[in-house]
Every structure is written in structure tokens, then in C-alpha cells.
Structure 1
Amino acid sequence: MNPSVPALSPAERYQESVSLYSSGRLAEALALLDEMLQRDPAHAQAMQLAAVCLNDLYDAADAKDLKPVVDDTLDLAEAHNDLGGWFYGRKQLTQAEHAYRRALSIKPDLTKAMNNLGLVLRDLGREVEAEASFLHALAIAPDYVMARNNLGVLLWQLKRLPEAEVAYRDVVSRQPGDVSAHNNLGLLLLELNRVPEAEQACRQALALNADVPEAHNNLGNVLWQQGRIAEAIDAYRQALALRPDYVGAKANLALPLLCIGDYLQGWALYESRYHEAVGTRSVFPPPVPYPQWRGEPLNGKSLLVWPEQGFGDGLQFCRYVSMLKARGAGKVSVACQPPLRRLFDSLEGVDAVYSLDGETTIPPHDTWCFMLSLPMLFGTTVDTIPASTPYLHAPAALAQHWRSRLPEGGVKVGLVWAGDPRPHDPSSNAIDQRRSLTALSYLPLLRVPGVTFVSLQKGAATRPQIEDLPAALRPFDPMDDVQDFADTAAIVENLDLVITVDTSMAHLAGALNTPVWILSRYDACWRWFRDRDDSPWYPTARLFRQTAPGDWESVVEQVAQALASLREPAVSH
């Protein structure tokens, strides 16, 4: 008998499932009911029979394993709750929601069904309903730590970090041995830049259970943020020893390995960044039907290079695009954020540049790849970094236009003191808090005589800080008329030096072959390595590093002294 015969009506399918159940063919009955509920998840009779089938299957499994049956009286609410869990494990979220709601219609105070429903609603993106479901469970059972922990996770995902902290600390106070709560608290505190507390929470989680890979991974994140590279690597490796397929730990381990120059392992592990199992991934493949290029011979095929992450990443790694024709590509196209389009038109060996502006149509290609996968695909080591600059150029007419706009005389120095704060993303915001300064912090630089300063600072919150400076020391600010990176590049090409914190401006200046001094935070980005003041990525770059977290004063003073030693323009443009 084939339970999937399409000619059967819903009523006939249901009767067939009843027949299968009555004859003891429980798995077949459940499979047919599952098929019915995928078509109509609100079918109450099918839902109830599925719950009964699953309950009987569980009882049969227990009997086979010689487990005693505690109570042979069927509790329909519990059975529907179990069915919801079965659906949830199969990622059938709509069916799971109906099962949990049916359980609650039978037993309105079944708190575990409320908690489970909250998880389903969260995964469906219905966060307001999910929060209400968790809170409903907690109103009935305040000591229900699983629901409170899940509420904390939801609040963390919604970037409501102070409320999430309250939820996690409530769990810890009620159940000090809850490993998950300590681990989650550590991750949250890290995003709040409360690093010592974060480390304490992660270590407490591991003291309770050293076999939790997530706790080792989070500890690795805490150590990495403190610049404790060897310890971070050990923590990530411990996470992977416990769970070899832990893609989040692989992606995290890639960064300190790249930082110490282990590019062979680092690039390979960095490919995990876009794996769908990374819960907080920010890298997604393009919505195209053709395959991803993984290094096989191109043999004249057309290739679309897809962007990811921030502007700085695109500016740094677009250098590889010009190398693809030598690998056999017949046509090379680049997709990019709109502010980069005009500048990327200057890339050699590129046939087309497409702006991801919601209006531009990208024609079909044979294959595609992520821009930040190119270093791995080219087998890049520290010694083989393609460091020839410039590889980007401002349009000549635009460079001439801006040359006439800039003040004359003195060494012309561009300034950037802050990055994009990204307040909507606590993790990125935490990094920005560590890398950014204020305009007033640059006063020692602005007092250096014989220098004409030009502000390259963008940002609604950071650019107005120019007004905080004494009028006589304010840099020339042309940014009202800057439309995109081509304009900025045209200005930079007319400067003798750029002084910037670690933002896209560092990469733009380096790509243009303009001397650039980079003020690097203590937990420096992996691309700047450690214990060196130059960069193999940019021949014109010089690093000025924090020697202690948060200490920008000594860094700015060091930069001011170096600036004062300049007597002539560093480069003729």
C-alpha cells in the first residue's frame, strides 16, 4: 500500500492513517499524517492522531529498551507538546506552532508548551509574540529557568542587551549551576566591552562543565579581544576537539591564525564564515542559480565576484580581482556597494562593475565567488601578498577638480578619528568603541605647525565634532560635497599623508599608494599582525599601536612627534 497516492482526498488520507494506526503500523501512519499536516497544519484530527501515534512510538521504544512506563494514561496536552518537539527538530516550524497551540488549548497552563512555542515564534521571526510567550510562562512559573534563559537569548538577538543581562543574571541567581546562563552572560558582557566580567562568566561556565564547546569558543572570543592570541587559539582548538564540525569556532580560530601569519590554515578555516550553521553569520551567498567557484580551472568562464562585510574589506581585497584573467576567466565582473562603484571602475582586468542599489540587473554568469575567498583561492601567504600599489585610482578629472578645492601650502594631511559606530549592531559597536577617538583627541596633531589639515571624517555623530575644536585649529572640511569613495579617493590623491583610525580610510589610502598612518587599537584587527609597524598589504602604511587597552593619549602623542618631524611632503602627486 502506498500512503502517498495523490488521488486520495484529505478525508480519505485521514481514514487511511486511522487504518494504518489501528493495524499497528505506527510509523507509516505518522508519515501519512505528517504529509497531511504539511498541506494543512490546522487539521485538528490529523494533529491529534499524529500526537497519539508519536506517543505510542515512544512507548514502544521505551518498552524495547526495558524502560518502565510510569503512567499509561495518555495526556493529550503532553502528547501534542511532544509532537511539537518532533516537528521542531525537523524544522517544520508551522506544524510545530500548531502542535504547541493545540497543547495549550487543552492545558492552558502548560508552561513548557509556552516556552517551546516561544522558540518556534522566535525562529519564525515573530519576536514580539515569542517574547509574550516566554513572559507568559514566567508569569505562571517564575523559577522556570529554561524559559528565562530563552528570553535572555531573544533579548540578546533583539540587541536589548541590558534586559538580556537582567534575564541571564536572574537565571544564575536562581540556578547557579546553569552552564548555559553563565556562557550566554559571558557572550553578552563581551559585546558590552566588559571584558574581565565576560572572562569570569565564561570560566565559571567551564568550571561547571568543561565539555561545553560553546563555552570554550566564547572564552576564545574574550581572550582574542584582549590580544591574548595564543590562549585564544588554544580555547578555539579545545572547542573543536569537543565538536570537530563546530563551524563557528572554525571561523573564529581563523582570525588569530591569520594574525600570526599562519595563512595556510587561516584562509581555509576562514571559509567557515559563510556556513549556514554559523548562527550570527553576516555573509550570505548571492541569490543566483549558478555555482560557487572553488578554484577549479575557469577555462574562459565568466565569473562574478560578490562583496561581503564592510567597505574596508572590499577596498583591501579587490586587488585580487585583477588577477582573475590570468587564472583563465573569460569575463570578470564585480558587484559592490553603491559608494564603491565609480572607484571600482578603475580596477584593471574587470569587464563590468555592478552596483547593488536595488535597481541594477546583473546578467547571468557561469560562476561566482566571495571577494574574501580570493586570498585562499590564490594560495596567499605572507610572502606572496599581492602588494603592488596603487591598484585603485580616482578619475583624473575628479582628482583635478579636488586639487583646485583644497587649501594651498604646507604638508597636506587628511584626518579620520572615528569609524562607523553601527549602534544597531552591539558587536560591531563594541569594536568601534575600542577603535574610535574624538576630534578633541587629535588636538596634539592639530597644533603641529606647517601642516594643512583636511578632514575626511564622515558620520552624523562624529563629523560634527569638528565644532568642538578651537576655531583656529579646525581642519578644512570638504565632506559635504563628497558623494562616494571616488570623491574621497580624489581628495586623498592630492594629500601627502592620511592619519586615520582603523577604518575603510586606511585601506583606501593604502590602495591609492598614499602614505597612511594607522592608529591601531590594542586588540588590533588580524590584518595588521602584531609587533610590527609596517604592513605587507600596503607599502605606504605605518602602524601606531596602543600598548594598553584604551590608551590613545600616548599613541596620539607619538603620531604628533612623527608628524612634527616631517619637513617636506612625503610624496609628490
Structure 2
Amino acid sequence: MTKNSIKELFSKAHELYNKKDFEKAKEVYEEILSFDRKNVEALVNLGVILKALGDRQTAYQNYVKAINLNPKYIFAYNNLGNLLKDTGNYKAAIQVYSDAIKIEPKNFHAYNSLGMVYEKLKDNNKAILSYKEAVRVNPNFAKAVNNIGVILYKQKKYEESIGIFKIALKIDPKYYELYSNIGACFNKLKKYDEAIDALNIAIEKNPKNGGAYTNLGNVYNKLYEYKKAAKLHEKSIELEPNGSNAYSNVGTSYKYLGQVKKSIDSYKKAIELDPNFVNAHFDLSTMYLAKGDYKNGWEEYEWRFKKEEMIPHIIKNKDIFSKPMFSGTEDVKDKTIILHSEQGFGDSIQFIRFLPKFKEKFPCKIAVKCRDELKELFKFIEEIDVLTHRNEATPEFDYHLPIMSMPKLLNMKTNKDLPKQNPYLFALKDKELEVKKEKGKINIGICWSASITGESYDGKVFDLKYFEPIINSNKINVYTLQVGPENEDIKKLGFEDKIIDVTDKLTDFSKTASLMKELDLVISSDTSVAHLAGALDVPVWIPLQKVPDWRWGNRGETTPWYPSAKLFRQKTSRVWDSVFQSIYDKLFSNFKIKIK
């Protein structure tokens, strides 16, 4: 075979590869190698074809053979490194890219690939250094500049990230994906108009950029325009059917549109495409739990500990998480299991109810490590053998278990499996918090805000002003149960002479519980105050957003979790007027108090 005929075969193979006709391209490269077994270019190109066909092992062998034949053939190193990176063999990939750089110090592609490996290893500092080296070698390499911006985005340095993306855009004005990245940053900064402008440019410049559509859909999710968001995510899926993010995002749009089945199917599709998609697993769990499918719900809910938001909690409590988590199969006779608080106060209050059944099923010593403000409240739970709070030393234990994992190990499948004890938390009478009973008057405790770090904060809270008709009633004494800076709303609205404020005495939840037991009614936003009232079996009315947290279900005025609770649901998202009108009507029907 002549050199010209081999050259023609290379050209033919290249054309077939561009047409994605990998099988025929493979045959052509094999034909070349049948005449010239030491042709390193054919070996490497065949490796690329084999990788595309899923034969990674033979591709690996081809790359190694090419390097052995010609230790300075840089394309073999680049492709071998990419193969190792794609298969998760990061340590070997780093070595291969480093070897490539030694051979060709100005190999900016190798520096960029090295940065991508360090990103996979979550070593962002080394990743940024590698990307900077790529840019130093080739100042016009916009891709590496973009990658620096992406890391800054992951680090939540959104303003800095925008600046880097704009630099990349100056280098390559046709790098239209950068507009999409800039839009995503503005979305995180809650600068929605700027986000929409940038993403519309991204779509205008490249109408086939699926990522831009789903980023724009995310903005409209934030703006509560779920129909518009869903259409954008659907367009993204149409363009990129294997995009797991778009499926997860449209699942959220469907969730808030009340399309439960479509939401679940979308999250499941996202997981099918990316089995380790943590947020999709977690969001799917909340959909199952909201509809009462506890069997699937608790299983998926375990993914919460892989969420990015939980990493600081795990690091802070590494003395607990460093030991094995109880799976329900270990022999725990004469052993100690430590139950520990996670997430918010309300979560611990809601789920501590499972402790008696848990100890009955798993007869062992129970230690509980809770958030500081819960310790006094939990002292009355007989099943706790050792009780500490987070600022105290962790007691000796053999296994740990997050409080919210108990129902999974108890095999809770339906609401019928909920513990029947009611109330399940108790409070001692506190003379400092005694409430004077006045004839013709009732005593109501109110709470209008929630933890700013909690899920769906914006949707579940409302303005204190909604309570004004109740506050002004001469038949109601109103007590504030709102602690923290939000309690300053009382002064801002001029209610300090109308609302009874003893929050300086509410130093922990046992104190709040003592006050609650004195009240005729609690009206609270979806926060720990509502859970505490329910756990104490104190009458509590809870105004809820249209699509509330999973634990309140999707419909109904009552909840099996708290028999003393009544739920008041929004009919229209973000509209509280009709909710509070229903509360005023209920005050009249229950207490004969007319609210003007």
C-alpha cells in the first residue's frame, strides 16, 4: 500500500467519523493497521472510535501501544488521559496529563484537562491553577477562562464568576454558552431581569442551546411563573434528550403546577440519566412523602446527607459521622445508638415521636444529641438514656442515626403506622409564663416568620400585618411566639402596646411549650412553633402556601401527624388574603368572635 493510498484511507475514516458511522470508520483504521501495525496515528484514532463504541478496554490498549511505539506522540497522551478521566481513574489521568506537559510544556489542552480532573476530585485550588496555566500558555483559550468562572460559580462567588465569563466573552465573542452561564449567575444573585436578558441573548445566538433554555426556565421557576418555566425546560429536553438537569428542573415546575405524576416521572427520568443526581433523588423523596408513599419516600430521603447544604453539618459533627450509621440489621444488644438532630428545630420535634417505638424494636441504650434549645424539652422522654446538646461532649456510642431516619428503619408505610401517643412532648408549668384568664377573652399565640435557612422560606412566611384584625380585637389577648429579629416587626408596625411580648423569657423550647400550654390557640406559619404546638396537642392553626412542605400533604384541613392542628391552604400561590379570611371565619365559628 502506497503513502497516497494510506492518506486516502485516513481521509475516508475521518469523513465516516464525522458522520458518526463508527463501525465503518473502525474497519478503515483496521485496514490501515493491517498494512502498518506501527502507525501510531491510526492506533490512536482507532482508540477514539473504540471508545465511542463503548470498547474502552481495547481503546486503552491502543493508546498505551501508541505511546510505547512513540513516547513523544502527544495525541496519545491526551486521549489516554481523557479515557482515564471519563472512567474515574483520576490519579492515573493526572499522571498522563503531567507526562504530556513534560513532553510539550505549551500543551494548553493538557493543562485544561488536568484542571477538569482536579475539579472532579473537588480540589478547586489546583483546578484553578491548572486553568490559569492553560491561559498563560494560550491567552486566547476562552474555554479555560470559562472553566475558572464555573468553579467560582460552584463556590457561590457569583459576581466574580460573571466578571470571568465576561473576560472569556471578550476573547471569543462567539462563545455563546457564556451568556447562559452569566444568566445562571444573575439568577443566583436574584437579579432576574439581568438573568432573563443574558439568557435570551444566549438563545437568540444559539437557538439549539438546551442549557440556556433550562437556565431561563429556572429563572421563571424563581419568579413563580411555572407554566412558562415548564415550557422552557420541555424545549431544553427536546433539544438535549439526555440532559438530566432539564428533567429535574421541569419536575420542580410540574410540582408547583400541582402535576404530581409528571413531576415524579421527571425526577425519575433525571435519575435514570444520572443515577447519582443528589437533588433529583431528594426532590423525588419529597414528592413521594407528600402523597403518602412512605416506602419509596423514606428510601429516597436518605439522599439528603449527600446534598451540598449538609456538608458543613457533617464536617461540624465529624465525631458522629465518622462512626457507622445504624442500618437496622446490626445486633445492638448492650450497644449504644446516638440519635442526633439534623436540619431545623421542627424536624427534631416532629420526628422524636418515633423514639419509643424505635427503642421497642431495637432494645439498646439510646443517647440523644440535640440542638441546644431542645434539651430541656426532651428531658421528659423516658426512653432517652443519655441526653446532651451540641455544645456538650458527644457521649460514647457504637452507631449513629439521624433522627429523621427512624421511620425508615421502623418500616413506616402509611399514616396508620404513626405512633398513637398524643401528646408526645410535655412541659412543666412555669409561673413566670402563666397567662391570666379574662372572662370573655381568649389568649392566642402568633408566629409569622420562619428560619431563613429553611426550605421554601419565601413561600411559607407572611407579614405580621395579616394578624392586625386579630390584634385589634377587644376579645383577644395576643402573645407573640416569634423569637429572633423578626419580632422587631411588632415595633415597626406600632403594635407594641397591643401584643404581649414575653419572648425575653422564651430562652428554649421548654419555655415556649410552657407558654403554649397556657394559650387557647396558636396560629403559626410553617415553622418549629407549629410543630411544637402539635406535639403538645395544643390547638394550632397553620396557614400554608399552595404547595407546602411535604409533611402537610397536598390537600385537606387536617394532618395525621398532629390531631390538634387545622390547616388553612392558599387557593392561589402567594395570596394570603383568602387564607386569613378563612381564619377569621373560623374564629367566629369556634369562639363566636367576629373579626372586622
TM bucket (normalised to shorter chain) is 0.7 to 0.9
196-205 or 288-297, larger mean C-alpha shift: 196-205
- Are 1:78 and 2:109 counterparts? yes
Q: Describe the SS at the equivalent of 2:425.
A: coil
CA contact (8 A) 1:51 1:82 kept: no
Q: How does 1:16-31 map to 2 (within 5 A)?
A: 24=71
Letter in 2 for 1:295: G
Matches of 2:557 and 2:494, distance apart in 1: 29
378-387 or 334-343, larger mean C-alpha shift: 334-343
Matches of 1:90 and 1:450, distance apart in 2: 63
The 1:77–1:249 alpha-carbon spacing in structure 2 relative to 1, beyond 3 Å, is closer
- Are 1:51 and 2:101 counterparts? yes
| Structure 1 residue 124, shift from structure 2 partner | 6.6
122-131 or 255-264, larger mean C-alpha shift: 122-131
Structure 1 residue corresponding to 2:172, chosen from 141, 150, 165: 141
Structure 2 residue corresponding to 1:347, chosen from 374, 381, 384: 381
CA contact (8 A) 2:347 2:404 kept: yes
- Are 1:293 and 2:326 counterparts? yes
Structure 2 residue corresponding to 1:303, chosen from 323, 329, 337: 337
The 1:463–1:344 alpha-carbon spacing in structure 2 relative to 1, beyond 3 Å, is farther
| Structure 1 residue 329, shift from structure 2 partner | 4.5
CA contact (8 A) 2:247 2:267 kept: yes
Equivalent pairs counted in the alignment come to 509
CA contact (8 A) 1:274 1:284 kept: no
Structure 2 residue corresponding to 1:439, chosen from 457, 464, 475: 464
Q: How does 1:352-363 map to 2 (within 5 A)?
A: 352-357=386-391, 360-363=392-395
| Structure 1 residue 122, shift from structure 2 partner | 5.1
- Taking only the aligned residue pairs, the percentage that are identical comes to 28
1:327-370 C-alpha deviation (Å, 9 max, x unpaired): 3343222222222222222223112332224xx22133111111
The 1:159–1:310 alpha-carbon spacing in structure 2 relative to 1, beyond 3 Å, is farther
Match of 1:494 in 2: 518
Tell me the TM-score normalised to structure 1 length: 0.78
1:405-443 C-alpha deviation (Å, 9 max, x unpaired): 556444543343522262xx6x84xx3332222222123
Letter in 1 for 2:350: Q
Letter in 1 for 2:243: V
Match of 2:266 in 1: 235
- Are 1:336 and 2:370 counterparts? yes
Q: How does 1:412-423 map to 2 (within 5 A)?
A: 412-420=442-450, 422=452
Letter in 2 for 1:524: P
| Structure 1 residue 446, shift from structure 2 partner | 3.9
The 1:167–1:343 alpha-carbon spacing in structure 2 relative to 1, beyond 3 Å, is farther
CA contact (8 A) 1:306 1:370 kept: yes
Q: Describe the SS at the equivalent of 2:129.
A: helix
1:107-134 C-alpha deviation (Å, 9 max, x unpaired): 2222112122333455577777655433
Matches of 1:442 and 1:402, distance apart in 2: 22
Match of 2:221 in 1: 190
Structure 2 residue corresponding to 1:206, chosen from 237, 254, 266: 237
Letter in 1 for 2:565: A
Matches of 1:281 and 1:227, distance apart in 2: 28
CA contact (8 A) 2:140 2:171 kept: yes
| Structure 1 residue 157, shift from structure 2 partner | 5.3
CA contact (8 A) 1:187 1:198 kept: yes
Match of 1:59 in 2: none
CA contact (8 A) 1:80 1:100 kept: yes
Letter in 2 for 1:373: S
| Structure 1 residue 512, shift from structure 2 partner | 0.8
Q: How does 1:32-431 map to 2 (within 5 A)?
A: 49-51=99-101, 76-89=107-120, 91=122, 93-120=124-151, 130-154=161-185, 156=187, 164-275=195-306, 278=307, 284-285=313-314, 286-288=317-319, 289-296=322-329, 297-357=331-391, 360-380=392-412, 381-396=414-429, 398=430, 400-403=431-434, 406=436, 408-420=438-450, 422=452, 428=455, 431=456
Letter in 2 for 1:434: G
| Structure 1 residue 153, shift from structure 2 partner | 4.1
Matches of 1:264 and 1:98, distance apart in 2: 46
Letter in 2 for 1:375: P
Matches of 2:311 and 2:118, distance apart in 1: 27
Match of 2:553 in 1: 529
Matches of 1:546 and 1:129, distance apart in 2: 39
1:297-323 C-alpha deviation (Å, 9 max, x unpaired): 422311111222222111111112333
Q: Describe the SS at the equivalent of 2:318.
A: coil
Matches of 1:205 and 1:347, distance apart in 2: 52
The 1:267–1:555 alpha-carbon spacing in structure 2 relative to 1, beyond 3 Å, is same
CA RMSD, Structure 1 to Structure 2 (Å) = 3.6
CA contact (8 A) 1:312 1:505 kept: yes
CA contact (8 A) 1:298 1:327 kept: no
Q: Describe the SS at the equivalent of 1:361.
A: coil
Q: Describe the SS at the equivalent of 2:422.
A: coil
CA contact (8 A) 1:227 1:522 kept: no
| Structure 1 residue 508, shift from structure 2 partner | 0.6
1:31-72 C-alpha deviation (Å, 9 max, x unpaired): 9xx9xx99xx9x9xx98643366x8xxxxxxxxxxxxxxxxx
Q: How does 1:451-490 map to 2 (within 5 A)?
A: 451-461=476-486, 463-465=488-490, 468=493, 474-490=498-514
Matches of 1:434 and 1:232, distance apart in 2: 19
Letter in 1 for 2:217: G
CA contact (8 A) 1:267 1:375 kept: yes
Tell me the TM-score normalised to structure 2 length: 0.75
| Structure 1 residue 509, shift from structure 2 partner | 0.3
| Structure 1 residue 382, shift from structure 2 partner | 1.0
CA contact (8 A) 2:450 2:525 kept: no
Matches of 2:579 and 2:212, distance apart in 1: 38
Question: Which structure exhibits the higher relative contact order, with contacts defined as CA atoms closer than 8 Å and separated by 6 or more residues?
Answer: 1
Matches of 1:123 and 1:451, distance apart in 2: 50
- Are 1:557 and 2:581 counterparts? yes
The 1:553–1:89 alpha-carbon spacing in structure 2 relative to 1, beyond 3 Å, is closer
Letter in 1 for 2:403: M
Matches of 1:475 and 1:249, distance apart in 2: 44
The 1:493–1:415 alpha-carbon spacing in structure 2 relative to 1, beyond 3 Å, is closer
Matches of 1:91 and 1:443, distance apart in 2: 51
Matches of 2:539 and 2:590, distance apart in 1: 12
Q: Describe the SS at the equivalent of 1:414.
A: strand
CA contact (8 A) 1:50 1:83 kept: no
The 1:542–1:211 alpha-carbon spacing in structure 2 relative to 1, beyond 3 Å, is same
The 1:543–1:112 alpha-carbon spacing in structure 2 relative to 1, beyond 3 Å, is same
Q: What 5-or-longer segments of structure 1 have no aligned partner? A: 1-19, 56-73
| Structure 1 residue 376, shift from structure 2 partner | 0.9
Matches of 2:396 and 2:186, distance apart in 1: 41
The 1:555–1:109 alpha-carbon spacing in structure 2 relative to 1, beyond 3 Å, is same
Q: Describe the SS at the equivalent of 1:565.
A: helix
- Are 1:541 and 2:574 counterparts? no
The 1:307–1:187 alpha-carbon spacing in structure 2 relative to 1, beyond 3 Å, is farther
